[in-house]
Structures are given as C-alpha cells and as structure tokens.
Amino acid sequence: MSYIKALLIIIQFFTVLPIRKELPMDQKHLSLSVSFFPILGLLLGLIYAGFASVLINTTPLSNLSITFFIWLSMIILTGGIHLDGWMDTSDAYFSYQDKEKRLDIMKDPRTGAFGVISLFVLLSAKFLFIYESVVNQNEMVVSMLILIPIYSRLLMGVVLINIKSSKKEGLAFFFQKNCSPHTMRYYYLFIIILLTTIYFEKPEVFFNSFILLIVTLLFFLILYKKIKQWFGGITGDVLGATVEGGEVLLWMIVWLLQYTVMV
C-alpha cells in the first residue's frame, strides 16, 4: 500500500492526472516516491505512445498534425510544470549574475525575455525532432515516446539525489531531505530490467535505448559540475529545466541517429 501511495504522490505533484486524495508526506513515502521517478516516466511514456499509436494507425491525419498533437499532449499532461522551471532557470542563467542573484531571479514570479526566448527554442526544437522522427520512423518514434520520458525522469532523480539543494526551502529541498541513500539501487535495478526487457522483446530498439542511456549519464556528469557552478546547487526550477533539457537532448540524439545509422 505504501508503494501505491508513493506513486500517487509523484503523479499528483508532476502531472495533471486527477488524484483527489490526501496523501501522507512523511519520510517513508517521500523517499519511496523519489524511487518511483522512472516509473512516472514509464506511465507518461505509455500514455504518449498509446496516443501516438492511435493517431498514426487509425486516423487520416498528416504527419505534421500527428506531431502537433503528440507535442501538445506532453505539455498538457505535465501541466507545463517543467517548462516553468526551464523559463525561470533560463532567466537566471542568462542574467550572467553571481549565484545568489541568480537564485533571486528564479524566485521572481515575472518571466523575462530570455525565459520566453528559451521556451520558444526548446519547444520548437522538440517539435522538429519529433516531427522528423514521425516522418521517417513511425514505429521507432512510439518506442522513443516511452523511453525518453523514463530517462528524463531518471535523470531528474539522479540529479536530486546527488547534487545538494542550493537553499533550505522549495520543492527540491522538500524531496531531497527525505531521500533514502538506497534510492540509487532502485534506479540500477530498474535500468537492468528495462534494458533486458527491450533486448528480448524489441531488439531493434535496443541500440537506441543503450545510446540514449549513455547520453543521459554523460549529461548528468556535465550537470553535476555546471549546476554547482551556476547556481550553487539544485532548486525545483533547476530540476524542471533538467527534465526539459534532457528530453530535447535525447530527441536530438534520436533525430541524429536517423541520419547516421540504420535504426
């Protein structure tokens, strides 16, 4: 029962799915909920992939229209929570101020020009990469719609566990202070099960899956250094930016693979 409640906590926090229930916010359940970040990604991915399969296989819609609805579903299902973090983090980063000033900028409810510009670039890039994937690899894009949300939420969890919060308040600190040191073990186990399942059930997807995992790990190593350098640690906004930036990076890799190897 605790596992179900922990999963519902992160669904309630990070999606618009209607969880009309008061859930326990104690250390046990919050620690478990962080362990379920990749499961949250799997849930989102299955919804995206199911929706995409219906559009591709049962409707006369053009590739452009299908891409638009897939792209839009990603914004709607998460309520744009990570996009908000992306904009605030972009405003802070492009201010070129010191760490403390950047943290103050992130707390400002107003959105600056850099936040708007970076949002436009992010969403445009994601649309482009998904569109070309839909045009060239209909079946592969459905698999990637499942895999990429998993890896991006896995990345969020790894960042949350391994990079200290820059302040003693906010969503990141709230989850981080309740994290278990054993959470990474759940992530290792999940990845082993995921890759093993893909290898035996969908071997044609295994290469892409492995490459995307390597890219995710390399991206974390970059973030491990840069987040501390730029912001002095993580915040809720930085975690949101990590998810969005990670997803666009992974979609770009899928896009590049279409033109460099046979997938």
Of the pLDDT bands very low, low, confident and very high (cuts 50, 70, 90), residue 176 is confident
> Residue 263 above 60 pLDDT?
no
pLDDT tens-digit series, residues 147-162: 999 999 999 999 999 9
Backbone phi, psi, residue 91, to 5°: -60, -45
- Average pLDDT of the residues of the chain: 91
pTM: 0.94
Count, residues in the chain: 263
Distance of alpha carbon 228 from alpha carbon 99, whole angstroms: 9
Q: What is the largest CA-CA distance in the chain?
A: 53
CB atoms inside a 10 Å sphere around CB 145:
25
Three-class DSSP category at 234: strand
Query: Where do runs of H (alpha helix) occur along 137-260?
Result: 138-162, 170-176, 183-201, 203-231, 236-260
pLDDT tens-digit series, residues 110-137: 888 999 999 999 999 999 999 999 998 7
pLDDT tens-digit series, residues 21-30: 788 777 778 8
Instruction: Give the contacts of 243 (CB within 8 A, at least 6 positions apart).
Output: 82, 85, 152, 153, 155, 156
pLDDT tens-digit series, residues 178-235: 787 788 999 999 999 999 999 999 898 999 999 999 999 999 999 999 999 999 999 9
The dihedral sign for the CA sequence 217, 184, 144, 114: negative
> Residue 140 above 90 pLDDT?
no
Decide if 41 contacts 155 (C-beta within 8 A). no
pLDDT for 150 equals 97
Residue given tokens 């670039």 in the structure block: 121
> Residue 52 above 90 pLDDT?
yes
Q: In the chain, what are the domain boundaries? A: 44-260
Distance of alpha carbon 139 from alpha carbon 141, whole angstroms: 6
> Residue 86 above 80 pLDDT?
yes
> Residue 262 above 70 pLDDT?
no
- Residue 61, CA distances (Å) to 54, 65, 243 in order: 11, 6, 29
Decide if 248 contacts 126 (C-beta within 8 A). yes
